[in-house]
Amino acid sequence: MSDGLPVIHEVAEGVAEVTLNRPEKMNALTPEMICRLADAWDAVQADPLVRVAILTSAGDRAFSAGADLGRLTTLLTRSREPEDEWDERLRAEPKLLNRAMLRRTDMTTPVIAAARGAVVGGGMELLLACDLRVVSEKSVLGLTEVKRGLIPAAGGVARVARQVSAAHAAEILLIGDKIDAAAAYRMGLVNRVVPADQVLKAARELAAAMAENGPLAMRAAKDAMVGSSGASLSEAFGIEDELIKGLLRSKDAREGSKAFMEKRRPEFTGT
């Protein structure tokens, strides 16, 4: 990409695109990238004009190889002292890591992953944090932390255990081997498997379709989906009830019904 920033955040026609832009290092995450990612997600969530976001990366080798062991890991383990403003900020605000990795429950804007190449470690955790996932036919995916004496503790354990069967989760977490895109699709980890040069196109098509939906409704649906995970059925019904009350009072709900009766496309405003 032409922009020299390691994380690029752009918005057009209701769709935000957040791009990991360090292809020469397999988009491995540095302290600067963590800070910029956290800021990008905060901006996406706060922008009423953004209806859906895409997380993608530059280059074909890797969506992200996870943490940069020399820059991020050494800072987090305190084996090196801060060397620049990004190091200082991350050391001072450790919760930035959670925000950057979407290890949060307040991110109600839908996010689509568009991944090419290797999706491993922290890159896999970012993919798992996205709501829909498009990957390349040649992608390999994995949570390999146990091979280094660690666990994927930026959301990987919690999310994979909820998203696939117990047997598949155990295979991914305890063996630590990479799986190919076809296996990931069979497990239900990804939504689309396409040629590498079609990954971003497919994600943008999904985003365009979603951008036509009611933005309040999509945020509420995601909020209910996340909030009711692990809840009892009665608790889940209660979450639905609270969210639909707000939607029924919205202009978008009235517009949706009116447009249906008038046989036209609704013009949602997010209000």
**pLDDT tens digit sequence for 87-120:** 999 999 989 999 999 998 899 999 999 999 999 9
Whole-number Å distance between alpha carbons of 254 and 5: 42
Residues 134 and 25 in one domain: yes
| Cβ pair 57, 199 in contact under 8 A | no
User: Which among 111, 94, 143 is positioned nearest to 17, based on CA atoms?
Assistant: 111
What pTM was estimated for this model as a whole? 0.93
Q: Could you tell me the residue range of the domain that residue 221 belongs to?
A: 215-261
> Is residue 232, in this structure, part of any structural domain at all?
yes
**pLDDT tens sequence across 186-208:** 999 999 999 999 999 999 999 99
Residues 78 and 159 in one domain: yes
Residues 147 and 219 in one domain: no
pLDDT at residue 173 greater than cutoff 60 = yes
**Dihedral of the CA atoms 193, 109, 211, 130 (nearest 10)?**
0
| Cβ pair 59, 118 in contact under 8 A | no
> Known catalytic residues?
125, 145
Residue 20 DSSP SS3:
strand
Residues 137 and 192 in one domain: yes
Residue 243 DSSP SS3:
helix
| Cβ pair 192, 135 in contact under 8 A | yes
Q: Which of residues 195, 211, 227 is at a domain's end?
A: 211
Q: Which two tokens stand for residue 23?
A: 């292809």
pLDDT at residue 240 greater than cutoff 60 = yes
Whole-number Å distance between alpha carbons of 41 and 52: 11
Structural domains in the chain (count):
2
Give whole-number Cα distances, 191 to 85, 127, 157, 179, 187, in Å. 38, 11, 20, 15, 10
Instruction: Please give the helix or strand (H or E) that residue 134 lies within, else none.
Output: strand 132-136
Q: Which of residues 178, 193, 211 is at a domain's end?
A: 211
| Cβ pair 31, 71 in contact under 8 A | yes
> Is residue 252, in this structure, part of any structural domain at all?
yes
Q: What is the pLDDT of residue 256?
A: 94
Whole-number Å distance between alpha carbons of 229 and 161: 12
Residues 88 and 221 in one domain: no
> Is residue 73, in this structure, part of any structural domain at all?
yes
